[in-house]
Amino acid sequence: MQFNDENRQQIFASLQYFFEKFHQQLDTSAVASKQTQLPDMPLSAHPRTLSALNKIIEEQLSEHVSGSNGPRYWGFVTGGANPIATYADWLVTTYNQNLSKGGDSIASSFERQAINWLLELFSLPAQFSGLFTTGATSANLLGALVARQFAGSQQGIDIAKQGMFALDVQVFSACPHASMIKSLGLAGFGQNTWQPVACLADSEAMDVEALREALLNSNAKSKIVLASAATVTGTDYDDLMRISELCKTHNAWLHVDAAFGVFERLVSGPNGKTKGLERADSITLDCHKWLNVPYDCGVFLTRHHALLKQTCHVGAPYLVQGEEFDDYMSLGIENSRRFRAFPAWCTLFAYGKSGIREAIESNIAQAKALAKWLDSSPYYTLLKPCELNVVVFAPSVKHPLSSSSECLRAINNSGEVFVTPGLWQGQATMRAAFSNWTTQMKDVERSVTVLEDICK
């Protein structure tokens, strides 16, 4: 192949072929592939044909991808790419816009509008602004970086310019996601330096009284509190109203990781489990989870736009700012940015608040149906009541497979369903997370058959 347009129609035809083949087989193919390594092959010294490339895709890729886009992939918290978002993502590649700066394209305006629509979707105040990120990890990293800048401003230090060598700060959290801990390391706080706060009994939610005591006893000049809405295993929500009051009293920064738990707001409204989220200083969201847009797509929101710009802006003669809006390269980590907001924009435009809410409610009902069956089975133990979209369970003493790891392996080897491990109250568990728009009750029934079969 050469760098020209001669193969354009053949490429489109190949795309349609692989797209249709994948979706036709999605319900019947194994949810997890047992082949995970590509055979070694030399780099070609000369151009190869599209047919040669398609042969590799056919034999080495299309038959060995996971069913993560399908209805019974319940590992981690994984959404599917809804049809409109898939279409939009193709257009993103077609247009190939770089959303680092405005002024040459309308694309940045779509991102700003998508952020505003998300604020409306989740009933968050207009004082928040933000941007799209690669996911919750980069959004949490921005949360750590802007909180660091805030702490520096309290001590007369511009961290972005001077570094954090003289910064006196303490970070508090109860059950942070691994991506938040990773972000603390990347931001220079250190992965092991945060102050653990006790959880409530039989919960991953923060004990607010323990936080109150920790803040009172802290001699640090600046304080940062990392809260969860919701935790990854127990789907427990920190009491954001009470925590935000404590943060206000102690002039502490409050960052909330609400990657998927924010969608509960569509079901219960702003006075449900996420009450107080609107009082956070910064928030992490994920769109490639429950909004069901393609990877990768997260969101960072903050009330403190000026601090975000102080954190990320760097001046250069060839990076002149626009006049009306701050360029996204001055508000985020990357200078080069994909038009990843567009699939989210199209999803919000096409399905609207009620359509998205219906998908969320369906997943919650499916999770509760599986939990109800597990709770009635003599071979399994439901370790926690299902209150959202994650089911936490383990084999009971009557199960022929004595450990969660053995049971997990048997479930995933069935090819019918895929779940991932977890840890609940110190016990190894299995967890099934429902966040795919294609999942139906018949998929729960198919998984129940698998759970029954491995007991025989």
Radius of gyration of the chain (CA): 23
- pTM: predicted TM-score of the whole model, two decimal places: 0.97
Rounded to whole angstroms, the Cα distance separating 36 from 72 reads 19
Q: Where are the alpha helices (DSSP H) in 59-106?
A: 83-95
- Answer for the pair 234, 392: CB distance below 8 angstroms, yes or no: yes
Query: What is the CATH T-level fold of the domain 97-338, as seen in this structure?
Result: Aspartate Aminotransferase; domain 2 (3.40.640)
Question: What is the pLDDT tens value at each position of the chain, 456 positions in all?
Answer: 677 777 899 999 999 999 999 999 999 999 999 899 999 999 999 999 999 999 999 999 999 999 999 999 999 999 999 999 999 999 999 999 999 887 789 999 999 999 999 999 999 999 999 999 999 999 999 999 999 999 999 999 999 999 999 999 999 999 999 999 999 999 999 999 999 999 999 999 999 999 999 999 999 999 999 999 999 999 999 999 999 999 999 999 999 999 999 999 999 999 999 999 999 999 999 999 999 999 999 999 999 999 999 999 997 665 665 567 899 999 999 999 999 999 999 999 999 999 999 999 999 999 999 999 999 999 999 999 999 999 999 999 999 998 999 999 999 999 999 999 999 999 999 999 999 999 999 999 999 999 999 998
CA atoms within a 13 Å half-sphere pointing along the CA-CB vector of 452 = 10
Two tokens, residue 451? 């759970």
- Answer for the pair 134, 298: CB distance below 8 angstroms, yes or no: yes
Say if residue 114 is preceded by a cis peptide, omega within 30 of 0. Answer: no
CATH number of 352-453: 3.90.1150.10
Parallel, antiparallel or unpaired: strands 195-196 and 169-173: parallel
- Tokens 């991506």 locate to 179
H-helix or E-strand spanning residue 409: helix 404-413
Rounded to whole angstroms, the Cα distance separating 49 from 71 reads 35
Map residue 390 onto helix, strand or coil: strand
- Answer for the pair 420, 62: CB distance below 8 angstroms, yes or no: no
Cα distance from N-terminal residue to C-terminal residue, the chain? 54
Domain extents in the chain: 97-338, 352-453
Query: In this structure, what are the phi and psi dihedrals at residue 284, rounded to the nearest 5 degrees?
Result: -105, 135
Two tokens, residue 264? 């509960």
User: Distance of CA 125 to CAs 226, 281, 303, 341, 382, Å?
Assistant: 20, 12, 9, 20, 38
- Answer for the pair 198, 211: CB distance below 8 angstroms, yes or no: no
- Tokens 């369970």 locate to 393
